[in-house]
Amino acid sequence: PESSLNKVFWSRYDIALHETALDLLGPDAEVADTAWAEGYVFALAGPIYAGTNEIQRDIIAERLLGLPKGRR
């Protein structure tokens, strides 16, 4: 369950970090072949791989918060 918290936090943080960097670098950073642009594309996969964030939130709700299983 703790790994679910980490996964949701870091995948969202990674996207926010890269979005902020691209905002600061300006529009050229999004079309140029830069590490930040490549990192952003990779970060977008974060909420999907290793179990979607939605599944991870279900695990957090059920196992850490003790909430009943939701409808699926």
Q: What is the DSSP string of 38-60?
A: HHHHHHHTTTTTTS-HHHHHHHI
Does residue 9 lie within any of the structural domains? yes
| Mean pLDDT along residues 39-61 | 90
Does residue 72 lie within any of the structural domains? no
Answer yes or no: is pLDDT of 70 > 80.
no
What was the pLDDT predicted at 31? 79
pLDDT band at 2 (very low <50, low <70, confident <90, very high): confident
Domain count, the chain: 1
Predicted TM-score of the model (pTM): 0.78
Does residue 14 lie within any of the structural domains? yes
- Indicate the average pLDDT of the chain: 89
**Which residue segment(s) compose the domain that 35 sits in?**
2-64
